[in-house]
Amino acid sequence: MKKSDVVKRYERDGDGRVLIDVAADKMEDLYSNFDRHAPYIRRDLEPELVEYLVECARELSPEPFAIQFSLSFAPDEKGTDRIRSSVNNFFLYLVTCELRNIRQMMSRSMVFLLIGLTILFCALSLNQWLGEVRTVVQNVFAEGLIVAAWVSLWEALATFLIEWFPHRKNVALYRQLAAAEPLFRAR
C-alpha cells in the first residue's frame, strides 16, 4: 500500500494537516487508571491511546498532523489545557527516555570499543612475543584473543552504526507528537 493511499484514510483540517482522531466518552478516559482523577498533570496517558497516536504518527510521517479529541462533551478551558499539557509532557518524557537510551548505548559502544582495542593490542603483542614457533595451546590462545577482540569491536560498531538509528527516529516522532496541536470537538 502506498503512503498516499494511507494518508487518504484520514481527514484534514482547514490548514491541510492530517487529523489523528481520538474518540472518547470523557476526558478521564484519556488517562491511565493511575492518573484519571489526579488533580495534577502527570505523564501517564492511557497506554492504548499512546500506542494509537504513535502508530498513526509513524504511518503519517512526514505529513504534518494535528490530534483531534472527539469527546461526548467538549471540555472546558481547564480540561483542554490539561489534555494539551498531558500529551506534551508525556511525549517529551518519552523523548528524554529515548535520549537516555541512546546515551547508554553509546556509552556501552565506547566500552566495547576500548575493550576490543585493548584485547587486540594484547593479542598482537602476544603474537609478536610468541614468534613463529608455538605450541597448539599457545596458538589457540593467541588466535582466541584476536577473535575476542574482533567480537568486541563488532559489537561496538553494530551498536554505533545500527542500533541507535531506531531510537533517533523515535525521538523525532515523539517530538512531533509533543508539538502536535490538540484540537477538540464534541461528538
Burial of 130 (0-12, 13-18, 19+ CB in 10 A): middle
Sorted by where each begins, the domain ranges of the chain are 3-95+178-186, 102-171
DSSP 16-82: SPEEEEEEESSGGGGB-TTTTT-SS--S-B-HHHHHHHHHHHHHHTTS-EEEEEEESS---HHHHHH
The model's pTM is 0.78
- From first to last of its 187 residues, what are the pLDDT tens digits of the chain? 666 677 778 888 888 888 999 999 888 888 877 655 555 555 578 889 999 999 999 998 888 999 999 998 888 888 889 889 999 999 999 999 999 999 999 999 999 999 999 999 999 898 888 888 778 888 888 889 999 999 999 999 888 788 888 899 999 999 999 999 899 988 7
